[in-house]
Amino acid sequence: MRVMVIVKATTESEAESHPLEMEGAQEMFEQMGKFNEELIKAGIMLAGDGLKPSKFGKRIHFDGTRRTVTDGPFAEAKELVAGFWIWQVRSMEEAIQWAKRCPNPMPGPSDLEIRPIWEAEDFGPEIAAGVNELQAKIAKNTK
């Protein structure tokens, strides 16, 4: 099963222009680097990255055929994403155990959210075939 592990943003992470500007960032990055190495060695980590604060982002709003764009920053830092991993795990329990081993991803209180990813087989054979075809095209284009 694949899961996305979401690192929730904090007021501090949203306030900075660069992650190394946060107090305690150097130590946090060293610890996170070690944790990422453990994930890779265990065959868990498929992808992962940090995201710039929402002040650098845009939101596209959909209403029927109409599209509007809103510039960041966005309110409610606790609802924003600061980074993510994609993990391959055997179960949600395994994902939770790995997440509990994670160093605190922020200098102060912070949260991780774990969400299962829809897999092609979750949709039945017809849709699964289309999803698998799309994934094959993506893999071909990224090589």
Domain with residue 100: its CATH number is: 3.30.70.1060
Report the domain count for the chain.
1
Share the mean pLDDT of the chain: 90
pLDDT for res 13: 85
pLDDT per residue over 104-136, tens digit each? 998 888 999 999 999 888 888 888 888 888 888
**DSSP letter (8 states) at residue 67:** E
Query: pLDDT (tens digit, 9 = 90+) per residue, 60-69?
Result: 999 999 999 9
Backbone angles phi, psi at 113, to 5 degrees: -125, 135
What pLDDT does residue 141 have?
83
Whether the Cβ atoms of residue 48 and residue 6 lie closer than 8 Å to each other: no
Euclidean distance between CA atoms 56 and 110, whole angstroms: 21
pLDDT tens for each residue of 9-27: 988 888 877 777 777 788 8
Q: How far apart are CA 50 and CA 41, in angstroms?
A: 20
What does the pLDDT read at residue 50? Answer: 92
- The pLDDT value recorded for residue 16 is 77
Structural domain of residue 18, as residue ranges?
2-141
